[in-house]
Every structure is written in structure tokens, then in C-alpha cells.
Structure 1
């Protein structure tokens, strides 16, 4: 009988042997990655402490890193979303391993911009290692595996998502779980069976077997490096397990796949426990994620996205092919191309797998990868499996086109197998030349141009923004609080004129002490800012000065023709940016005048009424917000609950209104319960305006809605009887 100590020594010995055998080829491969990356991205021109990208989601990523410096973790900060601060537990990042690495990097460097650069460029090495290891798991030769790793690392997916979708650019776990799935379908699975319900010693011995430990590590990597990759892994493993169970007439193969999927689900579910606990305490937030079937279709995977040339190809005739495809709908993310070499790999998969099938041979590696690539394509394509899941309400994940990275690895692995065949027939420099030629063609084909704003231009803009924020500190004081215009909901808001989403967060990155109004999560306390809508610029300035803001930040890129009137009402700014985009107004004299005219008690009372509004939440029964004809609405069954949340210790008087409409033609009624008396309203498909005067106690009040309207007969599996549109709570000023 083998002891636990002997098993541990065996695992350690196997690890040392693997490292000894693989380190040379892997090191050469990483050297190639460094050379290619240096040339493609002109790293000799890089300003390390200036981000390679500073717009859209890249800014939000850096803001998360800044939160880690301010509060210790990415989810909270007192310096944004002032006066309530920012709490991102509604806007969860399902990448605990990536966030842990980011935390380490930002605490070592102290700079969010440098952390972004290190993570992004470092991801090229981790993706290579994942692809190299995955290739070796499939018995691809070392130098062919290096080729696969380099080709896979420089997919357009990597740089298109790149700094903006920073965590998505670290997709090194994908080749590992694809290779695991292929192995599970073949004659040499990493895990052929589970030990059953036995003693913990039996399980410990099972886990310590190198192949089993490797499978566990792969599952953990897939489950902790992104919710998309975790879901893709579950889909891949389940499919491979079912196919393997049928092909080998072995239910244990399917049981292993189910166990791996269950383990993945457990790890992913554990990541959402803090969100569940948070929302259990303060209520769910139906505004934070607003995604529907149209989003899934828009970001689906098309065959043309995979096989057509990359956007901006160096040969104009090929670039024109891609441009013509943009006339088609849906547009997607334009990150799915696998290039000419990848296309050859797909053809090899189909041809070889088909030939083996016709000849009555086992599918082998080609057959397994062809099945996996085909299955995930069907899942992610337009009108495919993801859309079917969306019909049943699973719309949280919308960008299923990202599953292209699974197809891409299958394609490049087929190329790697082909290179092994070539190398077996050629010797020495001839074989090396062929491998180098394939890699060169593949990389140049999928990486046609420099993808970033010129580094010097970015450095100048970064320095200018930083200097302007420091001037604000000098003017208003290091601990001043700044209200930012235009008012932009956070997160995920469309561009406002020439402003990109998250532009307001750039100021936060340049100061360790100033407080900023932008960044509070929509659907929570930060919604008080929406109550300023309709005020003139001078009235708004008085309102936020009364709240306690010391300055007003104006981003001129966020306005159209109305900008001239706004600036006329505000007067001359105290500061202006070098490029004329930004202006700051001193609100301290405005507040002093308010206190002198109204008294401090009145100013504080009005401020409290403004920033502590009663909020509305759609609770049990409602199916989530949808958007149609520029109106937000939510369908509901026979019964549904609306929760009015009062954050203060006092009872608040509010006017709550919404439009209610039935799904079926006819004359029906809607009862609103939870008030001193039941309120009854007529209900038709045309809609009824519901207006309620309500006293909301501290902590909140639940309104229960009930209708006698019949269920809509439709293919939609939901019980749809009525909907509410445009819920609104009017300001509770005295």
C-alpha cells in the first residue's frame, strides 16, 4: 500500500520532471513572445507609468486598482460617488485570481496605470504558457506547441479586448480546459473515474495523483479567471463528458464531467455569496445589469467573424472584405477573427475528422476538437444555444462571441499537429524554417497595425490631466469635494456626446484626497443626482453647493448646443484645462451666500431631502428591466412586489407614480396593497397612470401588486400578465 508521504513525493517528482523537460522550449517560446510583442507594440517607446489606453473600460479597471489603494479592495472607495461613496458589490467581477494578482501589483507599484500596463503585457506570457501547456497535454511536440502558443497569444481577441476589457485579455485557462475536455474524450483521460463515497484518506490519495491534481488545478483556473471562461468551461466539459460517455459506453466519463462542472459552479457561486448577502441586506438592484435577448444576438458569434480577415488588415483587398461584413447585423465586438493560419486549422479539423469517420476509424484528437469547436460555435452563434438560454431568462452573459477563443485553440492545435507531421519528414533547418514561416504569417496576418494611441501623445494628455487636478487641489484644498457635470449614470452608460463612458473617473486617478460625485452605482443612493434633472445650471450649482460640494467640474465634451447657455449661467470658471475641455467653478462663495440668505438649518434640511431620496426597487415577481420604444418597463405575473426604500430615520412623504398596462386586450383591474387601504386601478393594454401619495417609514415599505388580467399566450416561457413602465418617485421637498 502506498503511503501519503510516498504519494506526495511522487507528485513532487512528477512536477520536477515536467519542469525539467519543458522549461527550455517554454522559455524560448516566451522569448519569442517578448520579441514579437516588443515589435508590434513598440515597447521601446512606452511610458511605463502612463496607461496604454485611458478610455472606456480601461479607466474603470484603473479605478478599481485605485480603490485597492484607497480602501484595500476593488469594491469600495469613499472618494467617488460622494457623499455616499462607491460600493461595487452590485457590479461584481468574477475574476478572483485576476483581482488578487492586480491587488499584489498595485500595492507593489502604488500606481494604477503601471498596474494596468503590467497586467496587460504580462497576460501575453500567461496566455502563451496556457496554450503551450494545453498543446503538450494533447501530445503536440514541444516546438510545435511553441508555435501554437505564439499564434494563440497574438489573436486579435487579445489586443481588441486588451486594456479596456483587461481581465478578458488573460485567457490562458481556455487552452487548458479545452485540452482537458479533449483528453476526457480520448483513450487516455486525465480523470477516468471518481473514488466514490469513501474515507477522506481515499480522496486525498486520489487528489495527489498528478493527473487528477492537474485536472483540479485546471478547473480552479477556469473558475477563477472570469465568469465567461467559467461558463465556457462548463459547457465544454459537459459536452465532452456526454460524448465520451456515449462513445466509450462508460458512464464514469459523464460522471467525471458532471463533477468538474459542479466544482466549477461551486467555486463561481462562492464568489457571488458577498453579493447575495449584500443584496439581502439592502435589496436587489434591478438597474445595475440591463441585458436582454437583443444583447445576446448583437454580440453573438458569426462564422464570418471567425474566418474573414482581421479589421484593418495590411492588405487592402482583405481589409475591404472585413469592411463589407460590417454592413451585416449583428455587428458584435470584431474580436473573433482567427486569421489565415487558424482557418487552415479549422479546415484540417473538418477534413481529417471526416476522413477518419468515413474510414471507420476513431476520431482521435481531430475528431474530439472538431466536435468541441462545432458544439461551442452552435452555442455562441446567432440564434444558437445562448439565445435559447436567453429566452428562458439567462441573459446575464451577453457576449457569446467571446467563445471564439475556444474555437481558435482547437484550430491552432490542429495546425500544431500538422507541424509535427511536417517536422517528422523534414530535418534541421528546413523544419525550423517551416515552423517560423507559419508563425510569422499567422502573427502578421492577425496583427496588422499599431493598436494604441501614440505613447507620446498619451503621455502628454496624461500629464496635462494630472497637472489640472493638482491645480484643483491648490484652489479648493486637498480634501475638497467636486460635483461633476454632465451627470452620467454609473456603470455602463452610452457615450454622452464626445465623452466616453467612465471619463469622469480619470480625475479620481490623479488625486489621493479629492472627492468626486461620479461613480456611485445606479439604482442605489447615488440616484439622488437624477433629481437635479430639469434644473438650470445656476440652480444646480446652488443645490450641490448646499449639499456641501466645494467645486463644480464641467466636461465640455459632454454637451452639445446647450453648452453656451450653461456657461453663461455659471459665469467665468476659476480654472480651465490646457486644451479647453475642462473647467472648474468654485462653489464655496455660492454656499456662503445660501447660508446667509436662508440660514444653515434650511440649507441643511434641503440638502438632506435632496441626497437621501426614497428609491424604488422591483422585487419578487418582476422579470427584470427591458427597454422598448425608449421606455423602461418590467413584465410581471399575477403578483409582484415593489419596494420603496427610505434610507433616513424619518418618515418621508413622497409621490410615487408609474404606468401599468396589461399584456392581453380587455378591461382588467390592478390592486395595490400595502397602504392603509387597497388602491384599485383599471388595467388595459393602453396603460393606466398610477399616482400614489405615500408615507414611507424608515427602512422602507413594500407594495404588493395583484391583477386579474389573464396570462399572455406566447412562446415566452414567462408568466406575463402585466407590466409597469417608468416608475418615478418625485422629490420630497417640503
Structure 2
């Protein structure tokens, strides 16, 4: 009998999950317009969606995403300075999907669709574990799955994998409420581990939350710490605090292991400016706003609500990705009730209410603009900056509160014979109202995306067919990577389209910011085109790819005319006239005929081994230097000798005798800084020199002769490309 009951229970559980999946698929069909969805066309083909395409395609072709030899050519792309390892569990899922299809589009689309049932299953498991009625669990799980956070944030694929959030919330509740959870106290200061499914389940959840996103891991550690500290203060319960620390250890260790390649790279190759470095001000900019939690979703289905929200978005300050944090009507009710619950004197019979209210208010205090998150960013680490992303936790706390209290109310007030029907009908109303309130139709129809996607694919395939395998393509205009600048109508990741459509070509886009390749490219595009394409040909580029969206039409025409005259051939042009390609093969062969193989090879190695600046000036000491200021530990000197330095301070490279690069800072807070004060008349080039470097005493006032003698005996070099005359055509439009 017991065995039969077990089978029946297993069958019922399977049936519940199948029904859960069915309801989720219905929601997806309506919200995502799946009738217009083509699995072979990327669900998103702009912005961060293109960067996701890069990482997924790179993972499929190269085994993992950290190194991609087909980008940043000829130097290659290494992602160690931009940690992605916090999402390794999500990459593993996609790696598994890739076993069935090597098409990155299919893998990306499949995973995007999969995030919906995964989020629903996770929320459903937690609700059922907390004894919430099946129908109510189904409806609340669906609303959590179709949050505006999930619907609007289409470009941030890896943030959509928030399916571990409900499970880690369950672990936090276990810490607060489950007796002898993980540790049993055997004496005043003695504890031992419990060996049961809760121990192993909670550790597994903590390991996985540390592998599905650094933000979700960080917030999980925060909530575990909050519950541990509150338990210590309110209950004098050291055991719960120790349990919290144990679980934080597993989350943190998991995250650290996942990003260990980046940590190792930073330790072995320290850089002054890391690509992943953030500033604390961003925590204010991308903070949480209570207003946005309570306001309806952008592009609401009701027209007048949509107009009001658009008005807020257009007039209110600091509206950015935090616009995705809306909870919808039902979620907002739960959020407000959780706040009210803090002020209720009488205790409720639902044990989790107070805990959820504490978690909710702590979320707001951490995440809100001007909150504790900003203090953490300013005093500890600014790597976590988008505190609005904590809204996905707030949403689950709010929905869980609604579910638990509705479940309690119905169980107390309804007759047994009516319960099932009332639960079913009420849950259906929640689904219909909630989904309509929370969602819009976020995806551009595949047919619309296909027009641009197929245009780009046809053009890149044409280039591929005309060039030998492993040919290198130089792309213009130059755009920094990652998180680069938008230029005219060119998005910061649009140049990735060449790579994602090609079979075996290598592309210049994708040099990591502040890397040697990045500096090399930035100087190449400043040179006159006649000089730059000769260098490009000699280092091995087979063609030049132009995205006209990054230029004014007139300047793009100038570049094309210049290249046409130099290469003596017509370019390939895409059907939509936005992409242009010049084949450098014949130009290169003609160039090779004028020099020996040895000389060609020497020039290639020379060009690839150093940044090619148009101007290279060794400071001789005869530039009329004078003392500007004397400060504790360093002196500030200046000269009016240099008149053609770039206005862009970052384009100037000042390097001392020890090959140390000085950095720009016009306030000169210490030695080893420079500034081109081009706004002065006459303009001055200013350097701060530490007394340790110069040997000058603190009380010494160096004369012009002293300064001149210092530079004569210490080799300082200025490297830069001057701002060009408007008559000279370069790959950089000024």
C-alpha cells in the first residue's frame, strides 16, 4: 500500500508540473506572440542582445567564452578583464543545448524561451513546499514568471535566468524558521552538522545561485546576513547566524571559483584601469525607485495608463534600466502589505509574514537611490552598481506574501466542498488580470528582424566567399569594447554582426578596452587613409568593412572615394546600402611587389609590436620648462613648447624612463600625472614629478636649469596622434 501511495504521489507531482508547463506555455504563446516566432532568427538583434550572441557563438566554437581568436584581430579577444563567470551555470545549460544544435541563434532562442518555465517551476516548487494550494501556486508562479523585469529586459539574457531567486528565498526562510536547520547545538558553544536533505539541498542551491549571476549571489548573501543578524538580536540565536555564514560561504566560494580565471588574470597582469571597474556614482544612477515598483509597466495594455507611464519616464530623473522593476497591481499590493505588516502590533498566524516584511524593507533600504547600496559602493566595492535588480527579490517576497495570506484566508473561511472550485476560479482571475496588467508584447516579430538579419548574413557570406579562410577584416568606425560608445546611428555592438554571420573570418572589432590592441586600433584610425591602409595591408588584413551608420553620409562617401582611388576597385555593397566592403587583396599584392619578403616581414613585425603614433617626441629638456607649483612630495612643472597636442587628453601618452605611463589628472593630486591645458593662452603642457623620482628635496625650489637637466638625464617620451586638419580624410570622423 505504501509503495502504491508513493507511485500515486509521484504521478501526481509529475501531473502538476506538466500542468504548470502547459499554463506557462499558454502565457508565452500570448505574451511572446510565439505564432510569429522563428527559432532560426535571433529574438533580439540589437544592443546587449548582440553581445549575448557573441558569447554564445564563441562558447560553441571555442569551447568556452573567455578567449575568442576571431575577434580583436590580429590580437584576439580575451574576456578575463570582464568577468562573466558568475553566469557559468547558465552557460552550461546552453552548452547542453548546443549538443543538439551548433547554431548559436537556436541555442540563444531556446535558452531565452527556457527561462520562462524554469522561473515558473522554481516559484511553484517553493510555494508548494510552503503548503500553498496547487491552483494558487500555479497562478502566483505564473505572475512571478511574467514580471515586467522578465518581459522588458530582453537584451539582458543572463539576468532573465532568475530562476534560483525563489529557491534561495526558501533557504533564507529555512534559516529563519526551521529548527536544527544545518546545525544542531549540543552545548553552549558547540554545534554539529545535521545530515539530511535540507543540508544538501540548501548547499546545492547556494552553489547554483553563485553560478547564475553575481548580482543574485550578492543579494542572496545580503539576505542571509540580514536574517542571521536579526535572529541574533531578537532571539539571541547564535546558531542561525552561524548557519547564515556557512551558506554565505558556499555562495561566495561558488562565485569566486566561477570567476577565478578573471581573478588570476588580474593578479598576474595588474592594470591601472580595469574594464570592469565601476564608480560608486553609478549605484545612484541605477538604483531602485519605489515609484517605479508601484507604477504600472511601460507599454501597458491600457492606453491611458501607457500614456501616463510614458509621461513619467520622459520627465522624471534617473529613468534607465530601473524601469523594469514594476511589480504590477497584485505585486504592488503585496509590497505595500509587507510594509504595513512592520507596523502591526498583533502577530499573525502565518509564521513567514514578519520575516518576509523584514526581507522586503531591507531590500528597499539596500537598493533605493541614496540607500545603503550607495554607501557599500562608495566604501567597499562599486562592482555592484545596478541595485534596481534587487526588484526581482522584492517581487517574489510580495507574491509569496499574497499567496500565503490568501491561502490562509481561504482555508479558514471556505467550506471543504467549495475550496477547490473557489481556488480554481480565483486563481484563474489572478492569471487573467495579472498577466494582462504586467505584460506587453516585448519581442519584435521574427519577420521584421529577419529582414535586417538576412541582409547582414547575405553580405557577410558574400565576403566569406570572396576571401580565403582565416582572412582578417578591419572594421570602421572604431568602437571600444565592451560597453563602448554609440556613434551616430551605429550601436555599440553592431560591428559584431560581421563575426556572428561569418564562418572562418577574423574581425578587428572586439579589442578589450585599454589593451594593446585597443590603443593600436585607436591610433590607426587617426592616420590619413593612405597611411593606414598600407599598415593594414602589411599586418595582414584582407579587407575593410564599413558600417555607414557610424558616419554622416557625406563623410562615408569621402572614405569610400578615397579607398576606391587607393585600391582601384569597386566595393561590395549590402542590399540595404548600409554596409560596404573593400577587398585589399590586389592592393596588398601590388604593395608586396615593391619590397623584399624580409623587409615586408620586418615591417609587419614592427607595426604589430608597437602602437603606431603619428608623433613620437623625446623630451630633451630644451622645451623651456618652469616650476608651476611645489606640493608635499612632488613638484609641478610646465612648458608652452607643445602646440599641436590633441585636445583629447586620453589620446596623449607620457612615458618615463622606466616605461611607466603617466595618467591625466588636471588637479594633480600626486606625482605621475599630466595635463594639456589647451584652454590657456598660451597653452601649457603640465607634469607632476614626485620628489622620489627627481631627487629634489621637499624644501628645494628647482630652477629652470634644474628642470631642464632632469629631463636631459631622464628619457621622457610623448606619443600621440595630432588632431588632423579637416581636409585630411581618416577613418575617424571629427
Q: Same fold (TM over 0.5)?
A: yes
- Indicate how the Cα distance of structure 1 residues 377 and 441 shifts in structure 2: closer, same or farther if over 3 A, else same: same
**1:138-149 pair list within 5 angstroms:** 138-149=130-141
- Indicate how the Cα distance of structure 1 residues 306 and 299 shifts in structure 2: closer, same or farther if over 3 A, else same: same
Q: What residue number does 2:671 align with?
A: 670
Q: What residue number does 1:531 align with?
A: 523
What TM-score, normalized by structure 2, do the two folds share? 0.80
Contact 1:80 1:86 in 2 (8 A): yes
- Indicate how the Cα distance of structure 1 residues 535 and 369 shifts in structure 2: closer, same or farther if over 3 A, else same: same
Contact 1:657 1:729 in 2 (8 A): no
- Indicate how the Cα distance of structure 1 residues 244 and 660 shifts in structure 2: closer, same or farther if over 3 A, else same: closer
2:126 to 134, 140, 143: 134
CA apart distance, 1:73: 1.0
Contact 1:661 1:688 in 2 (8 A): no
CA deviation vs aligned residue, 1:117-148 (integer Å, no higher than 9, x gap): 11010010111111112223333223222222
CA apart distance, 1:37: 0.2
- Indicate how the Cα distance of structure 1 residues 671 and 519 shifts in structure 2: closer, same or farther if over 3 A, else same: closer
Q: What residue number does 2:448 align with?
A: 457
Q: What residue number does 1:165 align with?
A: 156
CA deviation vs aligned residue, 1:338-358 (integer Å, no higher than 9, x gap): 100101112332344533xx1
Contact 1:659 1:690 in 2 (8 A): no
CA deviation vs aligned residue, 1:73-121 (integer Å, no higher than 9, x gap): 1111221111121111221211121111122222321011011111010
Q: What residue number does 1:231 align with?
A: 218
- Indicate how the Cα distance of structure 1 residues 219 and 287 shifts in structure 2: closer, same or farther if over 3 A, else same: closer
Contact 1:537 1:569 in 2 (8 A): yes
Aligned partner of residue 686 in structure 2, secondary structure: strand
Contact 1:422 1:431 in 2 (8 A): no
Instruction: Give structure 2 stretches of 5+ with no counterpart.
Output: 613-646, 675-682, 699-716, 722-734
- Indicate how the Cα distance of structure 1 residues 67 and 392 shifts in structure 2: closer, same or farther if over 3 A, else same: same
Q: What residue number does 2:145 align with?
A: 153
Contact 1:193 1:256 in 2 (8 A): no
CA deviation vs aligned residue, 1:548-570 (integer Å, no higher than 9, x gap): 10111000011125223212212
Whole-Å separation in 1 of the counterparts to 2:118 and 2:495:
32
Q: What residue number does 2:555 align with?
A: 562
Q: Does 1:244 align with 2:235?
A: no
What TM-score, normalized by structure 1, do the two folds share? 0.80
**1:340-489 pair list within 5 angstroms:** 340-355=329-344, 358-359=345-346, 364-421=351-408, 423-424=410-411, 425-426=413-414, 427=418, 428-448=420-440, 450-489=441-480
Q: What residue number does 2:727 align with?
A: none
Whole-Å separation in 2 of the counterparts to 1:655 and 1:601:
33
Q: Does 1:584 align with 2:581?
A: yes
CA apart distance, 1:362: 7.8
Number of residue pairs aligned between Structure 1 and Structure 2: 646
Contact 1:594 1:603 in 2 (8 A): no
Contact 1:655 1:730 in 2 (8 A): no
Whole-Å separation in 2 of the counterparts to 1:390 and 1:49:
41
CA apart distance, 1:337: 0.4
CA apart distance, 1:54: 1.2
CA deviation vs aligned residue, 1:139-188 (integer Å, no higher than 9, x gap): 322322222210100001112223x2111101011111122212322355
1:214 to 171, 182, 201: 201
CA apart distance, 1:496: 1.5
- Indicate how the Cα distance of structure 1 residues 293 and 593 shifts in structure 2: closer, same or farther if over 3 A, else same: same
Instruction: Give structure 1 stretches of 5+ with no counterpart.
Output: 1-11, 616-628, 634-641, 646-651, 673-678, 680-685, 693-702, 710-726
1:269 to 256, 269, 276: 256
- Indicate how the Cα distance of structure 1 residues 728 and 233 shifts in structure 2: closer, same or farther if over 3 A, else same: farther
- Indicate how the Cα distance of structure 1 residues 91 and 196 shifts in structure 2: closer, same or farther if over 3 A, else same: farther
Contact 1:529 1:611 in 2 (8 A): no
Whole-Å separation in 1 of the counterparts to 2:697 and 2:442:
58
- Indicate how the Cα distance of structure 1 residues 277 and 99 shifts in structure 2: closer, same or farther if over 3 A, else same: same
CA apart distance, 1:468: 1.3
Aligned partner of residue 115 in structure 2, secondary structure: helix
Range moving further from structure 2, 554-563 or 138-147: 138-147
Whole-Å separation in 2 of the counterparts to 1:595 and 1:289:
42
- Indicate how the Cα distance of structure 1 residues 706 and 294 shifts in structure 2: closer, same or farther if over 3 A, else same: farther
Q: Does 1:331 align with 2:332?
A: no
- Indicate how the Cα distance of structure 1 residues 612 and 244 shifts in structure 2: closer, same or farther if over 3 A, else same: same
Calculate the aligned-residue CA RMSD, in Å: 3.7
2:240 to 248, 253, 256: 253
Whole-Å separation in 1 of the counterparts to 2:426 and 2:594:
83
Contact 1:298 1:329 in 2 (8 A): no
- Indicate how the Cα distance of structure 1 residues 74 and 660 shifts in structure 2: closer, same or farther if over 3 A, else same: closer
Q: What residue number does 1:121 align with?
A: 113
CA apart distance, 1:588: 1.5
Whole-Å separation in 1 of the counterparts to 2:311 and 2:5:
52
Q: What residue number does 1:499 align with?
A: 490
- Which is higher, the Rg of structure 1 or of structure 2? 2
- Indicate how the Cα distance of structure 1 residues 33 and 299 shifts in structure 2: closer, same or farther if over 3 A, else same: same
Whole-Å separation in 2 of the counterparts to 1:214 and 1:471:
53
Whole-Å separation in 1 of the counterparts to 2:256 and 2:9:
33
Contact 2:338 2:360 in 1 (8 A): no
Q: Does 1:33 align with 2:24?
A: yes
- Indicate how the Cα distance of structure 1 residues 194 and 13 shifts in structure 2: closer, same or farther if over 3 A, else same: farther
CA deviation vs aligned residue, 1:462-494 (integer Å, no higher than 9, x gap): 222222111112222333211111111111112
- Indicate how the Cα distance of structure 1 residues 346 and 533 shifts in structure 2: closer, same or farther if over 3 A, else same: same
Range moving further from structure 2, 19-28 or 475-484: 19-28
CA deviation vs aligned residue, 1:242-278 (integer Å, no higher than 9, x gap): 1122222211011110111122111111223212222
- Indicate how the Cα distance of structure 1 residues 644 and 33 shifts in structure 2: closer, same or farther if over 3 A, else same: farther
Q: What residue number does 1:102 align with?
A: 94
Whole-Å separation in 2 of the counterparts to 1:31 and 1:656:
61
**1:513-552 pair list within 5 angstroms:** 513-527=504-518, 528-552=520-544
